Amino acid sequence: MRREEDHGHVLESVLLKRLLLQKSDAPAIHLFRSVKVSLGVSLIDFGLLALLVEFCRMNYLMAASAGFAVGVSLNYFLSIRWVFATRNISRRHLEYLIFAGIGVAGLLLNGVIMVLLVEGGKLNYLAARMISGSAVFLASFFFRRTFLFRPGINDRGLPVIREQTENGT
């Protein structure tokens, strides 16, 4: 019994290390980490939205845009540091512009969904934001993984070399 428990703890430790610490090109790990990052960033986005609307009396669409912009930059930083092992674009400023461009497309999608749900569907703006956030997350994850962080060939037609962290993983 003790041996099975030890084996279970070792397996759990290896799985947690792979999910949380090691660089990986596995799509499932990318999705898991992206969900974690997006949830954290969404809390900041959501809090900023509520703060700007309720205390600063800002229009809900303007407030959602401000929260979204902060979220895109934080998401980029966490994506290149933790979520994705492979970076396809060698010029970092171009990579950020494409990442942000996908974010802007998401912002437009977010705005359309918000208007449809708040103005058309008479839904509370916070509930509408939760729905729009989920749709935008899925679209953004797909496009970012496809165009920026997919294992394979980089923007110069060369095989992608995984970036190493300080501890060599």
% of the chain surpassing 90 pLDDT:
49
157 lies in some domain: no
35 lies in some domain: yes
Q: Could you list the residue range(s) of the whole structural domain that residue 98 is in?
A: 26-147
110 lies in some domain: yes
87 lies in some domain: yes
14 lies in some domain: no
Mean pLDDT score, 46-60 = 95
What pTM did the predictor assign?
0.70
Mean pLDDT score, 28-38 = 92
Question: Based on the structure, what is the number of domains in the chain?
Answer: 1
SS3 167: coil
Tens digit of each residue's pLDDT (9 = 90 or more) over 94-126: 999 999 999 889 889 999 999 999 999 999 999
Least Cα distance to 111 among 50, 68, 38, 61 occurs for: 61
164 lies in some domain: no
| For residue 162, pLDDT beyond 80 | no
53 lies in some domain: yes
Q: Which of the two residues, 113 and 163, has the higher pLDDT score?
A: 113
